[in-house]
Amino acid sequence: METRAHYVAVGAFVLTMVALAFVAVLWMARASLTTDYAHFDIYFKGPVTGLRNAAPVEYNGVPVGKVTEIRIVPFEKRFVAEDEDAEDTAPSDGTPATMIRVTTEIDAHVEIKQDVRASVETNILSGVSYILIVKGSQTAPSLQAKAGERYPVIKAHRSRLASVVARAPEILERAETALDSVNKLLGEKNREALAESLENVRVFTAGLADRRQDIAELTTNANKTVNTLNHLIDNIDRSYSGPDGLGSQLQTTIGDADRFVKNLTDTNKQLQQTLTDVRPGVRSFSQQTLGDVGILIGETRQLISGINRLTAEIERDPTKILFGDRREGYRPK
């Protein structure tokens, strides 16, 4: 009986665990069963290393879906984004090149715009690859399937790692050029010039060491000169800003000059007033008195002329003034 009871307990426990596992699976799958998904195709021209079915799809870092299918399909130019900088993969012999078509299912509540771009990113720590959808503006229209497309097509672009790998040849070429320049810089001639420069520096420093006493004296003299200059500046400052300094005297002089200018202004006003008062007398003097003075001067000149003639007559014949002219003229009979 005891062995049979143990079997019953173990069977009950197993059935309970199976039931719990079934409930857990249903609970975990409930989101998938109740969520609506929209399908999108992404065409990659380059490799999609590390990408597998059920790989996560993220929109600006947020998980929104997963990868459902990865297929190799013929190359078609219309599925390539115009801004993708990858070179044309069509071979030269005319056979069509291939590209990778990745089908994804994304939560239907996430609106995918026409200007979004998708890339294959790789987690460096875990090595897991996933699809990252970026960009997408609010003003852009929603992405819809075009004629000949089974699902709407999200344009692909290179990932950051793929861009680095694609530019690796150019980077290596530039590194080689830089190394060549370094080799030229470190050539024999430049090394000799550098060695000569270092030798000159050594000789110069040795000369400084030999003249350290002179340098110490020069430094001491320079300090004394600076102290003297500071003392001179202090004296100049005190002579200017002191009670009887140049600053006070200059202010006093400026005040005196200001008063002098004001006095000159007042004197000018008084002179103008005086000229205004004497202007009528000056006008009368110039118009009347000057005319009378001219007449007086003319008469004075006539008087002086008569006096001159009288003086001449007296000098020639003084008796004529006293006795008159005693000469008689001819009297006809």
**What is the reported pLDDT for 65?**
93
The answer on 303 and 190 residing in a single domain is no
Distance from C-alpha of 44 to C-alpha of 71, rounded to nearest angstrom = 10
Q: What's the confidence (pLDDT) of residue 84?
A: 57
Is the same domain home to 195 and 313? no
Residue 43 sits in the same domain as residue 131: yes
The verdict on 45 and 134 lying in the same domain is: yes
Alpha helices in the chain (DSSP H): 2-34, 160-166, 168-185, 188-210, 212-241, 246-284, 290-316, 318-323
Q: What's the pLDDT at 92? A: 44
Contacts of 211 (CB under 8 A, 6+ apart): none
State how far the Cα of 26 lies from the Cα of 256, in Å rounded to an integer.
108
Residue 269 lies in a domain: yes
Q: Pick from 166, 193, 227: which residue ends a domain?
A: 166
Which pLDDT belongs to residue 21?
83
- The C-alpha atoms of residue 304 and residue 302 are separated, in whole angstroms, by 5
Give the separation between CA 90 and CA 103, rounded to whole angstroms: 23
Taken in order 166, 168, 174, 176, is the CA torsion positive or negative?
negative
Q: Can you give the pLDDT at residue 153?
A: 92
Q: Within this chain, do residues 75 and 161 fall inside the same structural domain, yes or no? A: yes
Q: Comparing C-alpha atoms, which of 120, 145, 142 is closest to residue 40? A: 145
Contact indicator for 81, 155 with CB cutoff of 8 Å:
yes
**30 found inside a domain:** no
Last residue of a domain, one of 166, 201, 226: 166
Rounded alpha-carbon distances, angstroms, from residue 288 to 68, 283, 291, 293, 318 = 130, 9, 5, 9, 43
Q: Return the structure tokens found at 259.
A: 């008063």
Following CA atoms 315, 321, 327, 330 in sequence, which dihedral angle do they give, to the nearest 10 degrees?
Answer: 110
Distance CA 152, CA 39 (A): 7
3-state secondary structure of 256: helix
* Confidence (pLDDT) at 276: 75
The domain in which residue 194 lies consists of: 171-210
Same domain, 44 and 112: yes
Same domain, 108 and 192: no
The number of beta carbons lying within 10 Å of the beta carbon of residue 27 is: 9
Residue 280 lies in a domain: yes
Q: Give the number of other Cβ atoms within 10 Å of residue 101's Cβ.
A: 20
**Considering the domain boundaries, does residue 253 fall inside one?**
no
CB 65 within 8 A of CB 104: yes
Does 71 share its domain with 147? yes
Q: Report the domain count for the chain.
A: 3
- CB proximity list for 166: less than 8 A, separation 6 or greater: 85, 86, 158
Task: Identify the CA nearest to 136 among candidates 159, 110, 161, 160.
Answer: 110
pLDDT (tens digit per residue) in 212-242: 777 778 788 888 888 888 887 877 777 666 6
Q: Which of 137, 130, 129 has the alpha carbon at shortest distance from 112?
A: 137
Same-domain pairing of 53 and 146: yes
Do 158 and 185 have their domain in common? no
CA distance 250 to 257: 10
Q: Give a yes or no: residue 49 inside a domain.
A: yes
| pLDDT computed for residue 157 by the predictor | 84
Angle between helices 188-210 and 212-241 (to 10 degrees): 70
Same domain, 85 and 131: yes
What are 183's two structure tokens?
């080799």
Q: What is the C-alpha end-to-end distance of the chain, expressed in Å?
A: 230
Q: Are the C-beta atoms of residues 56 and 72 closer than 8 Å to each other?
A: no
Q: Say what the pTM is.
A: 0.43
At 133-153, the pLDDT tens digits run 997 788 889 999 888 889 999
What is residue 296's predicted lDDT score, i.e. its pLDDT?
Answer: 72
What is the per-residue pLDDT for 87? 46
Task: Identify the segments of the chain with pLDDT beneath 50.
Answer: 85-95
Does residue 137 sit in the same domain as residue 197?
A: no
Structure tokens at 293: 């003075």
| Closest of 150, 121, 126, 127 to residue 61, by C-alpha | 121
Is residue 217 situated within a structural domain? no
- Is residue 103, in this structure, part of any structural domain at all? yes
Residue 301, in any domain of the structure: yes
